[in-house]
Structure 1
């Protein structure tokens, strides 16, 4: 099992950085993909962050492990392996590694998670950072004080998300996107989870998008259908959220 430093050393070479062409400390948003891996929509969110004056860091959890899309669709997307509470160590390592960069304002970090990525963020927020939990040996060494906001894009909150109603230990501002036609959760379940986060003291804004799960991903797979217009609205809201979190970039 990795410690945070070694986990970051594995993740960093596969990370994509998008942002203004300068070296001054800027707010950072860390983007965590869904169970299907990196797809074409995350670079669009990274570009929206850049337009808002932020640095975006797309964190690939699969390339460092040598996993291809065929494997992850059959193993991760089915819940057989690498559940959110195991991937939470990637989130912690990325927070620690990216916050230490000289071109990042360590007091202005936002986390963005899509489906499985959102699940992983939520597990990280709710779990006790005991040794050898969340897939790393020293989760308690990560400092969450600079995490100011979380963007949850149709996070997985289904049967395997055992801790979805567990209070968070760090409660930043949240924008939670629920899909009205999400086959993985009911709107009621999502509202209950959002209410739990609010009860922790977090400011939680919710948006019910009239689409399917993964509506912003430019593919159609099973019950999931791409909606270009809804995707544009999501990108607009994402940029507005970042601008509101750090208005003086």
Structure 2
């Protein structure tokens, strides 16, 4: 099992960094893709973060493992491999690795997750960081004090999310995006999860988007339908969320 340093060494070469062209310490947002892997919409969010004065780090959980899209659609999207509480180690390692960069203000971090990525963030926030938990040997070695904001885009809160109602151990500002026509959850179920986070002491804004799961991804797959207008609204809200969390400057 990897420790955090080893996991970061695997993740870092595949990470895509977007941000202002300077070396000053800036707030940073870490973006975690859904179960289908990196898709065309995440670079748009990264660019929106850069326009808000942030550095954006798109973390690929699949390339370091040698996994292609066909495998992940069959194995990860069905819950057979790399469930959220296992991928949470990637989140911890990325927090630790990015925090150590001289061009990042480690006291102003945000996490952003889409579907499976949101699930992984939520597992990381709620779990007891005991040795060998969350897919790494030393989860407690990551410092979460700099995480000030969390963006959850239609996070998976279905049957395999066993800890979805477990209180978080930190309470950052949260914007939770729920899809009205999400085939993976009801609005009521998602709002129960949001209420739990809010009861932990976090400031939680809930946006119910009038679309399907993955409405901001520019593809149509099964019950999921791309909605360009909603996608633009999501980008606007994402940028505004970051600007509120750490004003441009």
**TM-score tier (shorter):** over 0.9
Q: Distance in 1 between the 2:150 and 2:79 partners?
A: 23
Q: Any idea what SS the aligned residue of 1:137 has?
A: coil
Q: Any idea what SS the aligned residue of 1:72 has?
A: helix
Match of 2:130 in 1: 130
Deviations 1:181-201 (A, max 9, x none): 000000000110000000100
Matches within 5 A, 1:238-249: 238-249=238-249
Q: Say what the alpha-carbon RMSD is for the aligned residues.
A: 0.4
Deviations 1:171-215 (A, max 9, x none): 101000000000000000011000000010000000000000000
Question: Does residue 65 of structure 1 match 2:65?
Answer: yes
Match of 1:31 in 2: 31
Q: Distance in 1 between the 2:196 and 2:103 partners?
A: 34
Q: Distance in 2 between the 1:198 and 1:100 partners?
A: 30
- TM-score using structure 1 length: 1.00
Q: Any idea what SS the aligned residue of 2:242 has?
A: helix
Kindly indicate whether the alpha-carbon contact (under 8 Å) linking 2:52 and 2:248 is maintained by their aligned counterparts in 1: no
Shift of 1:247: 1.4
Shift of 1:248: 4.0
Q: Distance in 2 between the 1:179 and 1:135 partners?
A: 29
Q: Distance in 1 between the 2:203 and 2:232 partners?
A: 24
Match of 1:182 in 2: 182
Shift of 1:219: 0.3
Q: Distance in 2 between the 1:17 and 1:248 partners?
A: 18
- TM-score using structure 2 length: 1.00
Deviations 1:87-119 (A, max 9, x none): 000000000000000000000000000000000
Match of 2:22 in 1: 22
Q: Distance in 1 between the 2:178 and 2:244 partners?
A: 20
Shift of 1:43: 0.1
Match of 1:42 in 2: 42
Q: Distance in 2 between the 1:96 and 1:176 partners?
A: 24
Match of 2:147 in 1: 147
Q: Distance in 1 between the 2:98 and 2:247 partners?
A: 21
Return 5+ residue gaps in structure 1 as ranges: none
Match of 2:216 in 1: 216
Q: Distance in 1 between the 2:206 and 2:102 partners?
A: 33
Question: Does residue 171 of structure 1 match 2:171?
Answer: yes
Kindly indicate whether the alpha-carbon contact (under 8 Å) linking 2:26 and 2:55 is maintained by their aligned counterparts in 1: yes
Number of residue pairs the alignment of both structures matches: 249
Return 5+ residue gaps in structure 2 as ranges: none
Q: Any idea what SS the aligned residue of 2:238 has?
A: helix
